[in-house]
Structure 1
Amino acid sequence: MRATTVLRKPAGPHPSPTDSPRRTFLGALAVLTAAAVLHVGVVLVVHSQTNGDALFPDAQGYRSASDMIAAAWRSGIPWEPRNISGMVGSAVWGYPAIMALCRLLTGGGWLAAKTVLALLAATGAVAAYGLALTSGRGRKRAAAAGLMVGASPSLLLWDAWGLKDGLITSIVLWSLLVQTRARFSLACFSTLVSIYACLYLRPTAALFLGVALLARVRFRREYLAGSLVLVGAAAVFILPRVMTLFGLVDSLEVHDGTRLAFGGGYGSQNLLNHPQYLVTLLLGPFPWEFGPETAVPERWLYLGTIIWIACLFLGPTALRRAWADTTGVGRAAVLGASAYAAAYMAAFGGAFYRQRSLLECMLLLLVVLYLPLSPARAMMRIHVWLAAIAAVAVVHSPHLTPTAWSKCLAVCVLGLAVPLAFTYGRRGAARRFRERHT
């Protein structure tokens, strides 16, 4: 007779009694130390290898604008938003101002500011660690979540190149942690502050936080006060800023003479008007392109792309379990990331991998927290999935298979290798299962 399936009671939002505050603090400190060493190390290596030059036009703009703002503040010009906006030339001037503040505090230049910002971004690993514990996960899975976020190749490189994605991801993770652990009124206040900051850094990240907070609203008496505070503060502080930004959308230019709008601007691969770029969003930057035209800094993002592709395969299973978690971070993160993804695809689309880095981080975090598979079975499935992607890549790339005969040969070899790898992987998993239960 077939055994009946026993449903396990889902873990609650609180850590187990064995997780003493001291052990939790030591675990968070270890995760922070590892993330800080990685972030600062990559910043120093990239800075030395590039002779201190900015690799991206945006990074060059942040560097020059922060230098200008710091010089103005040293000369006694008031710290007014109107003055800063005029020096930056944009209504989204938050990151150059933060970089200028780091320069003033350290008394150094661009490298010192990047190092301080990298340390701030590294604290996002601690927030991921806390989110795992708050969602009822054990210390090992919490440590894995923190280390995966702290060692994210994409975030490490963006920080090293002087861009703002690591800082934005850290703000979002800490806001989610406060939303999950704190009382609703305090969560509302904290989220409003984070939303207001994101409106000067990246407005779509503010949308992420707003939707995640709304996912926690319940029709209970204790939520009424927080909801009233939220609505009132949003009407006074957030709404005017949002209307100002929304009114500037049609006037923004991503290249001289090319307006941004929501139809896609210069270099944009807006998916509403250009659905053919969906593959670019899912698989780019393509790790199998190694021609001379790809000798650009984005080549270093290939490792992050491989992790992103692997998470796409494991994502549906993890997202279903995350959606069922209403007390932890699961459902709020799914709704917030969905809103961010919709805005990202409508405005920028496939090729703006920097804006996608927040989605990469959240998907990786949800996979680590909610995937109902052992690491061995997860890796087996990832290997088969990556082998299938490699089969497509080999046929697609003119550098790997330049002729029709080489493409046919590659298809035959990979057509035999993928089923064999899947078969032997299943046999190995079954053998390990028998060994553990005998």
Structure 2
Amino acid sequence: MITAAWRGQSLWETHDISGLVGSAVWGYPAIMALCRLLTGGGWLAAKTVLALLAATGAVAAYGLALTSGRGRKRAAAAGLMVGASPSLLLWDAWGLKDGLVTSIVLWSLLVQTRARFSLACVSTMLSIYACLYLRPAAALFLGVALLARVRFRREYLVGSLVVAGAAASFVLPRLMTLLGLVESLEVHNGTSLGFSGGYGSQNLLNHPQYLVTLLLGPFPWEFGPETAVPERWLYLGTVIWIASLFLGPTALRRAWADTEGVGRAAVLGASAYAAAYIATFGGAFYRQRSLLECMLIILVVLYLPLSPAKAMMRIHVWLAVIAAVAVVHSPHLTPTMWSKWLAVCVMGLAVPLALMCSLRRGVAHRLRDRRA
């Protein structure tokens, strides 16, 4: 309907589009309509254009790595991890906006890192305004990341004035509207519908018991008939996310020390986004988590001080711990309470045996080295 109106030379205002879409966050349907208008084709042509735009996020990740002083190998790895992210590929294939939002965030971070501060302010404010119609929490990410680059110097004064003026004119009025729509969906004028934020969403401040779901879900060890849904494609992404969580603290410490590159700005922006995510939807609303997954993977690839071999050894140990949790947690692997206790006993015996074997192997290597 938006495309047909534009083809008929009708210039709609924002309240017309929001009333038609049924939400104040109407940016993605409008972009889809614009792509369909420009390509002159159907939804497949429009979605292909948006998929190509989303794929440029991999190029932005590559540029961020080089700008932050990382080598080409790490830069290529960061680009490939973004371009081949299972979560982003799945949501993009479903025709959703996560790949596009991630691409906007990455390009904005690249401009913030490479451009002069005044130009970075103008670019970031445009991205923030776009994100307010796509996903407001991503606008919070960009705003906090920009503030992390502010220095008390004369050349930063112009950029600060640009940010203050643009925020007062464009962002604050829009932000007040969105704050009034938290956990609600406004249709036309004054008609509200209940809105839970999607399948399985849970506000973690009110439901802290869903923290494990946030950190480890969707659980890749559940293969019952009720899990025969497309979300199974997220299991590979979950494994990468779980591995990144273990390597994250070490990488984040080095990223925080990088004030010239993307490190500290990305850490602060991702923290603000995570806080908004936990306070609003959280739980099993994995689409909102995809931006966090992407940023954590980039920071791990760029700032992890370990060699790939040592990193993989630590990941194997961590995934073994998660596998032990999975055996006890899954109703398909251990369906009864007796089977759960048996699994716990077996794993309890396996750990000291593995330690003894590793100690014996270490002693044998030392004796061999002394003889040599």
The TM-score with structure 2 as length reference comes to: 0.91
Task: Structure 2: give runs of 5+ residues left out of the alignment.
Answer: 366-372
User: 1:416: Cα distance to partner?
Assistant: 5.3
Of structures 1 and 2, the one scoring higher in RCO (CA 8 A, sep 6+) is 2
Q: Does 1:132 align with 2:132?
A: no
2:177 counterpart letter in structure 1: T
User: 1:345: Cα distance to partner?
Assistant: 0.3
User: 1:232: Cα distance to partner?
Assistant: 1.0
Whole-angstrom CA distance in 1 between matches of 2:46 and 2:262: 32
User: 1:86: Cα distance to partner?
Assistant: 2.3
Whole-angstrom CA distance in 1 between matches of 2:317 and 2:49: 40
Whole-angstrom CA distance in 2 between matches of 1:412 and 1:102: 59
1:170 counterpart letter in structure 2: S
Task: Structure 1: give runs of 5+ residues left out of the alignment.
Answer: 1-67, 432-438
User: 1:92: Cα distance to partner?
Assistant: 0.9
Q: Which of 210, 229, 241 is the matching residue for 1:277?
A: 210
User: 1:169: Cα distance to partner?
Assistant: 0.2
Q: Which of 162, 178, 184 is the matching residue for 2:95?
A: 162
Q: Does 1:248 align with 2:184?
A: no
Whole-angstrom CA distance in 2 between matches of 1:248 and 1:146: 36
**Closer/same/farther in 2, CA of residues 298 and 418 from structure 1, 3 Å limit:** farther
User: Does the 8 Å CA contact 1:388/1:418 hold for their aligned counterparts?
Assistant: no
The residue aligned with 1:347 is 280
Secondary structure in structure 2 of the residue aligned to 1:383: helix
Q: Which of 143, 165, 168 is the matching residue for 1:210?
A: 143
Whole-angstrom CA distance in 2 between matches of 1:208 and 1:419: 45
User: Does the 8 Å CA contact 2:198/2:285 hold for their aligned counterparts?
Assistant: no
Secondary structure in structure 1 of the residue aligned to 2:203: coil
**Closer/same/farther in 2, CA of residues 364 and 265 from structure 1, 3 Å limit:** closer
Q: Which of 373, 378, 394 is the matching residue for 2:327?
A: 394
Whole-angstrom CA distance in 1 between matches of 2:101 and 2:132: 11
Whole-angstrom CA distance in 2 between matches of 1:298 and 1:321: 33
RMSD: 2.4
The TM-score with structure 1 as length reference comes to: 0.77
Secondary structure in structure 2 of the residue aligned to 1:252: strand
1:243 counterpart letter in structure 2: M
The residue aligned with 1:361 is 294
**Closer/same/farther in 2, CA of residues 273 and 395 from structure 1, 3 Å limit:** same
The residue aligned with 2:222 is 289
Q: Which of 194, 208, 222 is the matching residue for 1:258?
A: 194
Q: Does 1:91 align with 2:24?
A: yes
Matching of residues 11-410 of structure 1 within 5 Å? 68-249=1-182, 251-252=184-185, 257-258=193-194, 267-410=200-343
**Closer/same/farther in 2, CA of residues 419 and 175 from structure 1, 3 Å limit:** farther
The residue aligned with 2:368 is none
**Closer/same/farther in 2, CA of residues 205 and 310 from structure 1, 3 Å limit:** same
Whole-angstrom CA distance in 2 between matches of 1:104 and 1:257: 30
**Closer/same/farther in 2, CA of residues 267 and 404 from structure 1, 3 Å limit:** closer
Whole-angstrom CA distance in 2 between matches of 1:137 and 1:421: 38
User: 1:259: Cα distance to partner?
Assistant: 5.0
Number of aligned pairs? 359
Q: After superposition, give the CA deviation of every residue in 1:50-84 in whole Å (9 maximum; x if it has no partner).
A: xxxxxxxxxxxxxxxxxx21122222221432322
Taking only the aligned residue pairs, the percentage that are identical comes to 88
The residue aligned with 1:35 is none
Q: After superposition, give the CA deviation of every residue in 1:337-377 in whole Å (9 maximum; x if it has no partner).
A: 00000011000021110000000000000000000000011
Secondary structure in structure 1 of the residue aligned to 2:95: coil
Secondary structure in structure 1 of the residue aligned to 2:20: helix
**Closer/same/farther in 2, CA of residues 419 and 216 from structure 1, 3 Å limit:** farther
User: Does the 8 Å CA contact 1:211/1:336 hold for their aligned counterparts?
Assistant: yes
2:245 counterpart letter in structure 1: L
User: 1:267: Cα distance to partner?
Assistant: 4.2
Secondary structure in structure 1 of the residue aligned to 2:331: coil
